Amino acid sequence: MGVTVSGKENVVQTAIMVALHEYCRGRGLRMFQPYANQQGEALRRYCGDLFGLMENADLIALEIKELDVPTGLLKKFDAAQHKVACLFERLAVPLAYAYNTVTPHELAYYAPAQSESWAVETLGQIKRSLPTPLPGARPAVSCHQTLLDWLNGDHQTNGLELFGRTHGALRAVDDLRNGMLVLLYSVSEQTLASLPPDAVKQVIRVLRKSRLDDRGLAKLRTLLAAGADVFDGFTAPAGSAPPPRPSGTSKISEPEI
């Protein structure tokens, strides 16, 4: 391709996204890349940089960082962001860090003459780690599996099963905001299965609001009983103002179901 690249996270992210698309052909992969102003820890935001869902594999949820290979340090590593990532890990949301193991311009995707196996090679040059095994800016590279190995592993669940739990209320990968991920991964499957479709849709309406107030949490407790406890940490303090939208960004329409 003859592409000249500089060391930036978006360069690594592009290589990952295109390689996933190529490698996962025929596996029903759907991907979504949220804008920066859509990301964050609130219920209606997204907890990572790139999301994908396949029919025969678990959710791909990646927080992508660039590794400065000579120093072994992750550029732009954010301790506060890592703390939030660990919270989602404790809630069983499969959010993981992904980072390069060669300098970005050496990723197979950017080779001047791509080999036929460029997608496999690219995914093999990317490491994946849950937040806890990556406690800081210096990852233990040799201890983390490649994204390629993870993709080829056994993930127990699949995309069709996840969406099926919502009785059609969720239809696309961009529906998987933080609140929905916690609902699908942290609330027991038995709890969701016991609810009639209308009740599941009521839960999703609550979680699609910008903020979870006491009234919304009470509604979740009525519908989910003890299963609603996982949302306690997302409750907004009484009387607090909504978070400001980042400057220079436009408002994104977020229709209710």
Are the beta carbons of 63 and 97 closer than 8 angstroms? yes
| Single-letter amino acid, residue 229 | D
Residue by residue, DSSP assigns 134-176 as: --SSS--GGGSEEHHHHHTS--S--HHHHHHTTTTS--SGGG-
Tell me how far apart the alpha carbons of residues 69 and 135 are, in angstroms, rounded to a whole number. 18
Encode the chain (257 residues) as per-residue pLDDT tens digits.
Answer: 434 334 478 999 999 999 999 999 888 899 999 999 999 999 999 999 999 988 767 789 999 999 999 999 999 999 999 999 999 999 999 999 999 999 999 999 999 999 999 999 999 999 999 999 999 999 999 999 999 999 998 876 677 778 888 888 888 899 999 999 999 999 998 899 899 999 999 999 999 987 889 999 999 999 999 999 999 988 765 444 444 333 333 333 333 33
Q: So what's the pLDDT on residue 159?
A: 72
- Rounded CA gap, 117 and 111, in Å? 12
Residue with tokens 């093999």: 124
Q: Which domains occur in the chain, in start order?
A: 9-151 (3.40.1350), 167-234 (no CATH)
- Reference 226, options 256, 181, 194, 178; nearest CA is 194
Structure pTM? 0.86
